[in-house]
Chains A and B, each alone.
Chain A
């Protein structure tokens, strides 16, 4: 008998995202106990004993690599759900992609963590690799599903960015991102295939001052940087669809996004070939950051305009505009975090690059390493908060709860991220002998910020979990909205049009 609850959880966009966010939160919460302040408080020992983990000191780097993959694959899956849920594509593609990537990321998470933390059964490792392969295959299907050169997916509304022939440039941007991610995943996979046969596990931050790096090491360094970048690009594109990004700004932003993605990806791949790859990456980054900035301008103008319209104000004062902008923290927050990222990541990165030899290479390696790991975690954290804010909207948060949730996530995550930035740059202001007060202050702010964001997210997830066990909860409405409450129809022929009543419509630009 067909279970509607399982259908919701494993087939609907909202159910799949709920499941993935729940699993990522679970893993982040428990594995966060193994290091940092939770370890200082002694939680790690309790956790290790309670779970029977086997933590061999020499295997720390390998464990971290697999933990990253366990979380990152789930994040990629969430992005794929966002894309399949918001970009037009055939239903059977949507079902296949979502199904395969779900099995894939859960396999990666379960068997990767079993291999890394609970003994080294290479059966687990094999199944972990199988999971990675499934995620990759789902990505191939996604690229096929997003193929933008079919006439049926050409733009119907000339307000969206398109070519003269009607090619939907936003769809091209999604497609390019997906293909770039597949190629970039290959860079990791090829190196991984040499594991134990010429390649030795390492963390990139440990190699920063090595004058000579092997091609396999460079390949991994390129891989990890471009994967996070592409996840960021993917999230920005999804947020663009959420805002129904269109008009003149859309027409400027999408080419920037497409060419920026291509150039950054080529730059990251060419890290293996040339030390000048950074210049290519810089060029691509400028284009992508410009596209992001244009999206933010569009989103904020739209928030202000619609906010004023809701209040019946024709021409508002500055204060009215600010109130309109801030009235929905989920929508405002998703774009504010993109702006905030520049203060914590982009500008810091540029400053470090410009002053590298003058300042940061005077510091000991371990202090420079703190900048890199802090920088990396802050960027990943900011992307995660944007995804959380978007999910909260999908989950149906409304009214006061929406405001409290949104502002809590924005304020406390930003406190944590800013504190992390001060922590990583502390040697600019204080010497090692005098650093402890600043370490104490920043660490407590990081901990409070992250803890409150995680608690807030947990409350949202518990709310949705409680709803999930109600007979006619929101989940059943959401299932019906996606048309999944009835048995699926037989698959249409491959040649069936996506928009049966609309195939002949051409773009009038």
Chain B
């Protein structure tokens, strides 16, 4: 690497410079106040050193004016940091529309990734430059954390839940991927690389790595072999079980009056623990598939269910245009960023 000591890591995503700018602002304020306090301290310590052993200085009671001043000024400065940080955070955790989706499963101590087009990777992620990438992540065992310093973003990968992380790479290259949440014996070995490529190179890489079926197709096969079809229909049109076509991101009316948005975590729960939430009008007749399907297979089933067209939903891997999603987002929208798809 460089012979000089860098102060910031590689900048390779659209967040990088934004986080760096806030970091430099915070560093500037920190340096200013640390130097100010130190300089005043040193000056006082020298200027007002004890000159004779028994001297007693004149007491000073205090000053409300000064107290007010040094309460309000730091507060206002802190609020600028708060507002700036919060605004950027919303951007970091607002999953974009029309992103390339990649499924990530963390396990002790490796990263398993699968592209929507079927390519599988271990501890490596190939992405094209200039495209929004959205990772849908879960863990097979303990909590992990997907951390790419060059992208200035990370998210915990939590068992039993699906979390998302998105970024848009801006510079081709090979960047560190770290697990940032302590996960046991080989935690420091749970590392890898994110390889950012020019779009054409990426297309070449994709076409050179075919062979595995896409998660959607694999999910469809599972849907058959596990016997889901007998109640939910071959294309999720429903029967003894609720309709699955067009289910994703739709509001589901539950037995007992509750409502739930059908996201990844809900679909997973309905497979592994079907009694937890019963759709209104249906009986608790579905057996649990806990232990019979792996996290990978769950992701494939979810991918298949997400792909089922129905109602107003647009078919395909992009659930972007479903009505519940609301209007298309603008970068400034303070809409509802959710990174925890429950």
A interacts with B: no
Q: CB within 8 Å of B: which residues of A? A: none
